[in-house]
Amino acid sequence: MTLKKSRLAFPHLSLFAAGCVLALAPALGFAQGATPIPGATPAAPAIVTAVGELATVPAPSLTAKAWLTLDATSGQIIASQNPDERVEPASLTKLMSAYLVFDALENKRLTLDQNVTVSEKAWKTEGSRMFIKPGSQVTVDELLKGVIVQSGNDATVALAEAVAGSEDAFAALMNQEAAKQGLRDTHFVNSTGLPDPTHLTTVRDLAILSRNLVVKFPQYLHYYSQKEYTYNKIKQNNRNRLLWTDPTVDGLKTGHTQSAGYCLVATALRDGRRVVSVIVGAASDSARVENSLKLLNWSFQNFDTIKLFDNEKPAVNARVWEGQAETVGLGSQAPTWITVPRGKGPQVKPVAQYTQPLIAPLKQGAKVGTVSLSLDGKLLRQEPLYVLNDVAEAGFFGRVYDKIRLLFE
């Protein structure tokens, strides 16, 4: 079956039979004549299947309460176990604390050389410590090393107070940012990860947060790969032992309490591709390291991440009516990457659903539909389709001619 109206052309990918396009549109909730919302942020792609389910090599057997591995470029979950079980994050909490400090730095609310006066509350905070003294002046740069390299709870509270005035106010900002990022099962009570019955998250939320951190703030990732830091004549090693085990690992954070077990969010960059792994509830430090390395290796060795299209490489060349151009490219506003089992990139099947008919004038950036990306009959994700170029309205006779032609289409 064919569909002349759509005039679909996927120049870079194979396509399902075009006849299913309009038939699928109502079922997918796509309404003809959709118009863009000015200033709106594109919706996150709907990830339907964890791509690991399509791999011939199964995920490794891990000894942890919950775990997840995610490709940072595509944002796709590769595989997981108990991804939505609420768990204690322990010092993995400091990922959000650091995120808010980085955001304050980028928005000029803090500077790295700014001095912070250490409060009595920060000095008294229990748990792992940077060993800062009450009343002393410590720079934001030094405190970040204390938080990230040494996992110092005292340094974390000092930075929380510098950003928000108090740790309670900072915790409110943490929850506000969690909601903004769509961390649906996360609630923070403090900046450090000290145990509290309502201080909870999931490995899915931790993976999303970690991916957002490395994508938005790559300029600060060097803190996470620093192996040691000396402050007040006390040298402490980074607790992430993968920094010594695997040279491609450059972060991110460990966590441990008696009730949470041993936790580790790790990330590695190999041949330009970044993967994030999350392990919580391991029985020992060595177990979290071993599990994380297994998960990273499996994710890199058995999956590819490929770019399908972007704002210069359209997903669809679509027919335009009553316009000065007969076709227009439809695609994504940012590069669209997809993670698939190794070697299966050419088998990805895209199907587009978009407004029929497309009538000029069309404005660049107008959302007109979606493209679904499937592999082995399973939907991996959906992406919005945007008009990539302006198309001006044709003259009077051109519009009339196309109106007549449409009557016979």
Q: Which of the residues are catalytic?
A: 91, 94, 151
What single string gives the DSSP state of each residue in 170-190? Answer: HHHHHHHHHHHTT-TT-B-SS
Strands (E), 283-335: 303-309, 316-321, 327-331
Q: What is the dihedral of CA 138, 144, 149, 155, to 10 degrees?
A: 60
* 8 A C-beta contact, residue 163 and residue 137: no
Instruction: In whole angstroms, give the CA distance from residue 381 to residue 47.
Output: 4
By C-alpha distance, which of 352, 387, 255 is closest to 15? Answer: 352
How much helix, strand and coil, in percent to the nearest 5, is found in the chain? 30, 30, 40
For the sheet with 349-354, list strands across it: 349-354, 367-375, 378-387, 327-331, 316-321, 358-359
Tokens of 318: 């679509």
- Three-state secondary-structure class, residue 384: strand
The backbone torsions φ and ψ at residue 246, rounded to the nearest 5 degrees and listed phi first, read: -135, 115
Tokens of 147: 């938080």
Tokens of 116: 């912070």
Q: Looking at this protein, which amino acid is placed at residue 245?
A: T
Q: Looking at this protein, which amino acid is placed at residue 95?
A: L
* 8 A C-beta contact, residue 239 and residue 245: no
The backbone torsions φ and ψ at residue 61, rounded to the nearest 5 degrees and listed phi first, read: -80, 120
* 8 A C-beta contact, residue 223 and residue 144: yes
By C-alpha distance, which of 355, 341, 357 is closest to 385? Answer: 355
Other C-beta atoms lying within 10 Å of the C-beta of residue 117: 13
The backbone torsions φ and ψ at residue 194, rounded to the nearest 5 degrees and listed phi first, read: -60, 145
The position carrying tokens 């699928």 is 24
